[in-house]
Every structure is written in C-alpha cells, then in structure tokens.
Structure 1
Amino acid sequence: MILDRIKPLDAILATAEKKSLNRTLGWFQLMLFGIGCVIGTGIFVLTSAGAQKAGPGLMLAFAIAGAVCIVAALCYAEIAAMVPVAGSAYTYSYATMGEFLAWTVGWALIMEYAIAAAAVSVGWSGYFSGTFLNELFGVQLPPWLAAGPLALGGAPGGLINLPALLIALLVTGLLIIGTSESAKFNAILVAIKVTALTAFVALTLTSPHFDTARFNPFLPAGVFGGWGTGVGAVGAAATIFFAYVGFDAVSTAAEETKNPQRNVPIGLVGSLLFCTVFYILVAAGAVGTIGGQPIMGPGGVPFPAGSEELARQCAMPQHAGALVCSNEALAHVLREIGFSGIGNMLGIAAFLALPSVILVLIFGQTRIFFVMARDGLLPEKLSSVHPKYKTPHVVTLLTGGVVALGAAFFPVGKLADISNAGTLYAFMMVAFAVLILRKRDPQRQRAFRVPAVWLVAPITIVGCVFLFLNLPIDAMLFLPGWGALGIIVYFLYSRHNSHLGRGIVEVVDDIEGDETSIPINPPKG
C-alpha cells in the first residue's frame, strides 16, 4: 500500500531529541522571524502588483489573504506546539497521513522557499542598484552585472545579477554561523523596516493629499476576476498570499525554540496579526494619497501585472506617476506627495530590510531539507550538524548555492504565484493533519487547542483551495508538474532509503526516557 507508512509521533519526537538542533529562540525572536519575512516581501515587492490586480480593493485582498492565514495559523499553532520539531507541514503530514503524502508536502515546500528566496534576492538587487548605488552615490552598475540573461517580459538582460548572487551567499553564510546570531541580525532589520513603515502610515494617513474619493471605484475589476486570470480582489489575495509565508517559516524553527509549547503559538499568531494590520494601513495610505486604480486592458480587464503590455502603458506620460507602475511603490508614494527625502530613506530601509526576508526563507527551506534527510528520504549527509555552530551546514550551503544561482541567472517573472501554489497545498495538509490527530489521538497533551476545530480546519481547507483556484493558470499547473517530478524521485530513491521503510524507528522508553533504535517489520512495497 502506498499510504501505509505513518511515522508515530513518539518516534518523531525521539529522533529530534537524539539528533537535535540547539534551542536558542524565544517567542519574541519567533515573532521577529515572522515579521521579517511577511512585512518585507508583501509591502516592498507586491504592493504595485496587488494594486494592478485589485485597485483600491487591495485592502480587501489583504484582508482575504489574512483571514485564510489566521485560520491556518491556528491549525499550525496546535500541531507545532504538540510536535515541536523541525520540518513544519512535512513532519505533521508524516505523523498523520503517511510518508508518501508527507513527501509531496516536503517537495512542495522545497520549491516554495527556494523560488521565493531567489525572487526576493532579485528584488533586493533592484533596490541596491537603484536607490543605494544610483540615488545615493550616483554610481551606475554596468547592465551586464545588474541582471540575468533575461529580464522581465522577455527583454534583453545582462550576463549575471551579481548583487542578487552576493546577497544570497552572504545570508547563507550567516545562517551557517548560527541561528541565534541570525535572529539577532534579523531583529535589527525588522526594527528598521517597522520604523520606516510606521512613518509611511503616519505621513500618508495624515497628509492633505489623502482623499477618500480615490477609493472609488473600490473594486474596478470586481471581487472575482475570473478563473485562471489572477485579477480582482480574490486574484490579488492569491498573489499577496506570498507575503504571509513568514508565519509558516516560524513553525520550522520549533526544534530550535525554548519552551515551544508556549512560544510557537505566540510567534505564529502574533506575527500574522501584526503584519495583517500593517498591510491594510499601508495600502490605505498609498491608495488614499495618489490613487491605486489599475490600468485597464481590453474588455475592462486589468493588464497582467509584470506583463509587457503593462510596461508599455506605464511608459506613457499619463501613467508616469501611477502606483501600479512603480518598482519602489512606497518610496514613490512619498515622493509624489512631497516627501522625497523620506521616500529615499524608505527605499534605503527596503534595501536594508529585504535580506531579512531572504534569511527567513532560506532558514525555512533548509529545515525542511534537514528533516527529510534525517528521515532517510534524502541523502543522510544533508542532515549533518556542524560540530561548532550546531546548524545544518551541509544543507544550508547547498540550498544557499541553488538560491544564489537562481537569483543570478533567472528572471523573477511570476514566481510569487508559483510559490503560492506550494504554500497553499502545505497549509491545506496541515488543516487535515489537525483533524486527523484530534480523531486518532485525542488524549495527547495539547498546549494549544484550536477553538471550534471542526469549523476552523475545514474553513482553512476551503480557503486554501479557493485561493489556489484564483491563481493564474500557469501557476496552478506548475505545482502538479513539480509534484510529478517529486514522485519520480520518491520511487527511484526515497521510498527504498526511508528509515521507516527499512524498519528503523526511534522510540522513547516510557519509564526511563531512554532512546533506542529498534527494527520493525518494514511495510511491504
């Protein structure tokens, strides 16, 4: 049977204790990890794209995505506190739905984090080349060093995106040195961008340029833009969901958290609520001061964000100041309302803050890799822990290298939408895992319990499917294609090398708490 391998929770916990990572993180650091990823990605990268899809309804899009994330975060909080080990949705699926489905979740998460980290590295490169070098020092980076072989829209690019390559490698080195050191660095960056965004909200919402008339029409493309189009408020929510991957990364740090039963739920829910409120306020300030109406194409449908058609429209004088045409949306807003100096400072804040996004994404990806290797589904050498730094240095170096190469040579394109497909799949599986554990193991201690779980978990599942079906069609098709490749890898390597499949399971002695490896009869097949 393909679904016959379910790893006992006690075995998962015993394996983590025997080959564990160093527990150094508290609830405040976990919240900062979540805020570091969520705020940086959504505000600095996706604001213009979201406005092009939804117009002023961008605020509703943030609320829709945030609502789905809140119910998903509750499911994550219960199961992450109960199973405080690395691996996130992959580990939870292994303990409830079996090895094969867990593999598909882990495979999707590997794709999600790597693509997102490469995309944000390229986004940081734009701020570095533009705001930092050009605006501050008047230095123009040679085009062949500032972009990969293909730019967005298929336009001619350069030879290599050197800044993107270097920032990915720098963050990788920081993660190898240690989780605690990475968290301290991340806390500084989070403080910088939260301060900058607070100033943005204060300046825009109190500005004489703020006019509620700019919110009309609120939903120029409607709530639903049509299946596979990725526009409208729901289509924008499906794209903006990319920004909320931060709270998922928090759960991957459970094995490195002090008192995870208390701190993981606080980090998950706290970072999500903080960021959702911030998103809505920033969107209101941006739209209310300079407007956020999308540029419409034939039939009253917005031009696709990032498309060549939109780029041509933005080159026209009448659209020069449009929010949807800016690569530095928030800095652009402040410049338009007379705060050029502060706008440039906000651009610098983005330049300083985006490395924290890359850090959290690579951190999350390496922890998924680490646990899959520890289970034998990937080569076990990947689960090696550095003797000095106590970090999974082999898989961190491998992951960082792949992210750096992707950032250096490939265009960003629609990577946010593609990454979202994997994220939504993982979130849906966590909701299933919570329901299964409530039914199968109701007596197990739960430091945090989802209120009304038989309502919240199904809402999470429906919400994830709903957003997935509102992604652009190519993003929806990428996930099954990537999944098919993963299934081939599973049957050619992972299923035969799995520790569980070979009958090797870590258990905890109920009396003395001793850990032993015992052979069991391996499942057939």
Structure 2
Amino acid sequence: MGELHERGVLLSTIFRRLPPSEATGLRTGARHSLAELYRPADLVVLGLGVMIGAGIFSIAGRQAATTAGPGVVLSFMIAGIACLLACLCYAELSSTMPTSGSAYTFTYVIFGEVWAWVIGCALILELQLAAAVVAKAWAELAIGAITNFGIRLPQHDLVASLLVLLILGLLTAVVALSARIGLRALWVMVTAKLLAIGAVIVVGALHVEAANFGDLYVDPQPLTTPSTTVLSLFVGQGQAFGWFGIFAAAPAIAFAYVGFDIVATAAEETVNAPQAVPKGMIRSLVIATIIYIAVAVVMVGMVPYTSISLDAPLSGAFRVAGVDWMVHIIDIGAVLGLTTVILVMIVGQTRVLFSMARDGLIPRGLATISRKYHTPSRVTLLIGLVAILLAEFVPVFTLQQLVVMGTLFAFLFVAAGVIVMRRRMPHLERGFRVPLSPLLPALSLFATLWLMVNLEVLTWLWFGLWMAFGLIAYLVYGRTHSLLAPQREPVASGRGRHRR
C-alpha cells in the first residue's frame, strides 16, 4: 500500500496544472513582472528580425537546384501555409495567456507540469543552440564579406573565433543592459536589411527571364544524395523534382520561417497583448512569406535552375548578370540578417528561462529583475555565456537540425493545446480565436508531423537523449522545487506567486 501511495503522489505532482488565473495574473504583483515595452509595430519588427536571416539569399537557390526546380516558388507557398496554421494556434493561446513563457506556460496550464518541463527543454534546445549556430554562421559570413571587399584575413579560425565572441558578447550585453536599446537597435538593423532585400528584388527583377520559369515543373529524377529521414524508413527514398520534389522542399523552406513563435515570448512586455500579439505574429509571418516568395521568384527567374551555384546562389546569379556590386549589398544584408536573428534568439531564450525560474522549476535566482537595468540580466548573462561556450567548443553545425526539432515539438503541443483548451476551458477570454477549430489546429498537427518526419533519424535520437536528460533533471530538482509543490511555503508578495 505504501508503494502504491508513493506512486499516486508522484503522478499527482507530475501532472499538476498551473491555474489559468495565475498564468495571466501578471500585473497584480503575484509574479515577477516585466515592464511593458512593445507595441504592435515592434512585434512585427521582432518577427521579421528572427525570420529573415541570411537564408533568404540562399535557400531558394539551393532548393531549386537540388530538389524542386522552378517549382520552388510553390514550395515556399506550401511552407508558408503550414507555418501559418501553427501561427494561428500560437495566436489564440497567446491572446488567452499573454505571458513570457509562451508554449511552456501554455502547456503548464493545459497539460500539466511535466509536459511543461518537456516543452521548456525543447525551447531551451531550440533557442540556445540556435544562438550558437547562427553566431558561427555570422562569423563565416562576416569573413566572407570582408574578403569580397579585397581584404585578406590571416588565421581564419582564430578570426572566426574572435568574431563569435564579439557578436555574442555584444548582443548579450545589449539585451542584459536595456531592452529599450535592444529594440531600437533591432529597428535600425531590420530596416537596413529590408532595404538590402528590396534592392535585391528590384535589381534582380530587371534581369528576370520568363523562360527560366518553364511551367514550374521538372520531370522527376532519382535523388543524388539519398537521405536517412524518418519518412524514408517507411516509404523509401523519394525523388528530386516533380511534385514530390516540390513537397519535399517545403519542410526545408519552412525552417526558414521558424521564429514567429518567439514573438509570443514578448507577450508579457506588450501593451494590450491579447490583441497586439496575435496581430504581430500573423502580420510578421505573412510579410516574411511574401518577401521570401519574391526573392525566390527573382532567384529562379535570373538563371536556369540547372546553372544555380550551390555555394552562393544569389550572388552567383548577379555575377552572371554582370551586376557585381550587388554582391556587397547581399553580404551586408546577410550579416545584418543574422545579427538580428541572434539578438531575438537571446531575447526569446531569456524570457523562457525567466518564466521557468519564476515557477521554481529551475533556480529562482534566475528570475531576478535587475533594479538598475530593469531586465532579467542574470539569466541573460548566463544564456550568453552558454552560447559562447557552445559556439566555440562544440561542432554546432552538425547539430543544427535539433533547433528545428525543438521548435516543431513545441508546435505539436500548441496545436493540440488549442483543441484541448476549447473543451476544458471554454470560459477563458480570448483576444483571438483560430477559425474553423478544431479543423485548422488538426491540420496544423498534421503539417507539423510532416515536417518532423522529414528530419534525420539521428536528429530524433539526439532529441530523445536530450529529453531523457531533461526528465531526470525534473525528477531530481524541478518536481520538488516547483511553486506548486505541496510542501512549499508561501512566498512574499512581489517575489513569486502567492499561495492560496
């Protein structure tokens, strides 16, 4: 009987859920709170800052050359629709629970603590690893841009390492010292990179030849590099080009759109969040999709897909067209693009860990708000340090698909959360509702699973190991230190959630 009792206690603590009133009571002094900073236009800039990186100058060309041909334009549309479904689900939950925890807090309220911890681990993996991966890519791009200006840098590896340290250290300091300065810097950089992309679209359009589009369809061909995705284990190797190639390119392209979910982490700091956050997420995703499609049209139209350079697709196309000066514009746009991605990733990761610490699942000292800077500077500095260590000492490029895996795993719970919350908590006030529910959330689940099975088997194995480690950490620390743990004493006002 004693053993059965212990099992019952364990299950009751693992599946305890955060009351919706405590998840949304952010202005009452019941939780540590972040100052309101963002307005609707700021959220759009935040979304564009993370969704439009250097990949906008390369992904269309690479997918056109290897997988979809001119039909890559259709692939961008398909990927945009899949991400829009997930975005609508995020919009409803964010409008109902405008908190910095995003998918972590949504899951805490709807499914329970252990699942919230799992999603928290997925988000940590996504954002922390992404910051390191993008910083490494930023260093390589910066070196390439300098080289294209005719300047030769000695000791490539040393220079790259110093540049990684520079960009991560600088952006971490910006986020830690002043959220307002970070927002202003983001506005400047996003505006500059949009101008660079605008130049690419306008100048490139002058060199588009209609014959390069064909009928957006290329006859199917065998894959030159067979994949080891989960899907290939069940249906065998697919084909390049044709309709299969168009749909196969969509998952790789959808990864470029990933990042709109980070806008949800700014909800607690947004004025009139229930209405502003859904609009900010949806608008930024729609704008990003239009921009990506426009660049894809220019890319495919400038050169035949068989002649696209895999190393530098867009730069190579402009060189073929005799517009060499555009290479420097692309370099500047790419460097600025990755700079804003790193900045927003650090902001998003800070807010997720801040929320987990505030709930007691990780050390609560990380939820401290700096009296001088009015930011969660302690957790921000920790995130920056870990990102530097990962980028400098871990082969992060080999693990970059884990970033996508962590994101898609959260997408699953958010889509399911809309369906479950409609049934369990129909009384909650919502600033936005997913239309045609539960159909569209169910379609989002299906689309997310499609993207996940297109990831490598090895990625699934690494993700499983990370989750196993995370569950052990929860059982050892989070379960007993949670503010919902029955043995916890009440905490003082303003230092955590009040106990009833």
- Map residues 181-192 of structure 1 onto 2, 5 A cutoff: 181-192=181-192
Q: Given the alignment, which residue of 20, 25, 34 partners 2:38?
A: 25
Match of 2:379 among 395, 398, 403: 395
Equivalent residues in 2 for 1:292-441, closer than 5 Å: 292-293=305-306, 322-326=308-312, 329-441=313-425
How far does residue 60 in structure 1 lie from its aligned partner after superposition?
2.9
Kindly provide the amino acid, as one letter, of the partner of residue 371 in structure 2: P
- Which deviates more, 251-260 or 13-22? 13-22
**SS of match in other structure, 1:265:** helix
The one-character-per-residue Cα deviations of 1:298-333 (angstroms, maximum 9, x if unpaired) are: xxxxxxxxxxxxxxxxxxxxxxx633232xx33332
Q: Residue 461 of structure 2 aligns with which residue?
A: 477
CA distance in 2, matches of 1:255, 1:506: 24
Instruction: Kindly provide the CA deviation profile for residues 394-436 of structure 1, in whole angstroms up to 9, marking residues without a partner as x.
Output: 1111111111222223334344422111111101101111112
Deviation at 1:135, TM superposition (A): 2.3
Q: Which runs of 4+ in 1 moved over 6 A?
A: 222-226
Could you tell me the TM-score, scaled by structure 1's length?
0.83
8 A contact 2:52–2:337 mirrored in 1: no
Contact in 2 for aligned 1:12/1:506 (Cα 8 Å): no
What secondary structure is seen at the aligned counterpart in 2 of 1:421? helix
Question: Per-residue deviation at 1:441?
Answer: 1.4
Query: 5 Å matches for 1:106-505?
Result: 106-131=120-145, 133-136=146-149, 138-147=151-160, 161-207=161-207, 209=209, 211-213=211-213, 217-218=217-218, 220=220, 227-228=231-232, 232-293=245-306, 322-326=308-312, 329-502=313-486
**Amino acid aligned to 2:89:** C
Cα distance in 1 for residues equivalent to 2:256 and 2:129:
13
TM-fit CA distance, 1:499:
0.8
Distance 1:506 1:62 in 2: 52
Q: Distance in 1 between matches of 2:252 and 2:176?
A: 31
Aligned to 1:12: 23
Matches of 1:48 and 1:467, distance apart in 2: 20
Counterpart CA distance in 2 for 1:445 and 1:220 is: 50
Cα distance in 2, alignment partners of residues 72 and 355 from structure 1: 25
Q: Report which stretch shifted further, 486-495 or 213-222.
A: 213-222
Question: Do the aligned partners of residues 247 and 331 (structure 1) sit closer, same or farther apart at CA in structure 2, a change above 3 Å counting?
Answer: same
Verify the 8 A CA contact 2:208 2:298 in the aligned structure 1: no
CA RMSD in angstroms, aligned pairs only? 2.6
Q: Which residue of 1 aligns with 2:6?
A: none
Distance 1:497 1:447 in 2: 33
SS across alignment from 1:501: coil
- For 1:264-320, what per-residue CA distance to the aligned partner results, in whole angstroms no more than 9, with x for missing partners? 011100000001111111112112212334xxxxxxxxxxxxxxxxxxxxxxxxxxx
CA 1:366/1:30 → structure 2, altered by over 3 Å: closer, same or farther?
same
CA contact under 8 A between 2:127 and 2:349: conserved in structure 1? Answer: yes
Counterpart code for 2:70? P
Change (3 A) 1:174 1:210: farther
The amino acid that maps onto 2:291 is F
| 2:73 equivalent to 1:50 | no
Matched, 1:101 2:104: no
Per the alignment, in what secondary structure is the counterpart of residue 397 of structure 2? Answer: coil
> Retained in 2: the 8 A contact 1:242–1:417?
no
Question: Could you tell me whether the CA contact under 8 Å between 1:16 and 1:85 is conserved in 2?
Answer: no
* CA 127–325 in structure 1, closer or farther in 2 if over 3 Å, else same: closer
Q: One-letter code of the match for 2:346?
A: I
Distance 2:58 2:302 in 1: 19
| Residue in 1 that maps onto 2:106 | 92
Counterpart amino acid of residue 196 in structure 2: A
Q: Percent identity?
A: 36
Secondary structure at the aligned position of 2:369 is classed as coil
Contact 1:93 1:429 in 2 (8 A): yes
| 3-state SS of 2:259 partner | helix
SS of aligned partner of 1:500: coil
Q: Does the 8 Å contact 1:385/1:391 carry over to 2?
A: yes
Mapped partners of 2:258, 2:182: distance in 1: 18
- Report the Cα offset of residue 174 of structure 1: 0.7
In the alignment, which residue of structure 1 is the partner of 2:4? none
How far 1:205 moved relative to its partner?
A: 2.7
- Cα offset, 1:42, TM superposition: 3.5
User: What letter matches 2:122 in structure 1?
Assistant: A
**Does 2:96 align with 1:82?**
yes
Deviation at residue 7 of structure 1 after TM alignment: 0.6
Listed one character per residue, the Cα deviations across residues 34-90 of structure 1 (whole Å, up to 9, x for unaligned) are 001111153146445534343433323322221111011111111101111101100
- 1:38 equivalenced with 2:51 (yes/no): yes
Where does residue 511 of structure 1 map in the other structure? none
User: Structure 1 stretch 283-292 or stretch 423-432: which is displaced more?
Assistant: 283-292
**Unaligned ranges ≥5, structure 1:** 148-160, 294-320, 508-514, 520-525
1 CA distance for matches of 2:297 and 2:317? 12
Query: TM-score scaled by structure 2?
Result: 0.87
By how many angstroms is 1:492 displaced?
1.1
Q: Which residue of structure 1 aligns with residue 8 of structure 2?
A: none
1:393 CA displacement: 0.7
Please point out which of 56, 66, 77 is paired with 2:80.
66
Distance 1:416 1:434, change over 3 A: same
8 Å CA contact 2:61–2:296 kept in 1: the answer is no
CA distance, structure 2, for counterparts of residue 211 and residue 459 of structure 1: 36
CA contact (8 A) 1:116 1:415 kept: no
When structure 1 is superposed on structure 2, of 208-217 and 32-41 the one drifting more is 208-217
- Cα gap change, 1:61 to 1:256, in 2 (>3 Å): same
Equivalent pair of 1:68/1:463 in contact (CA under 8 Å): yes
> Distance in 2 between the 1:269 and 1:503 partners?
42
Partner in structure 2 of residue 523 of structure 1:
none
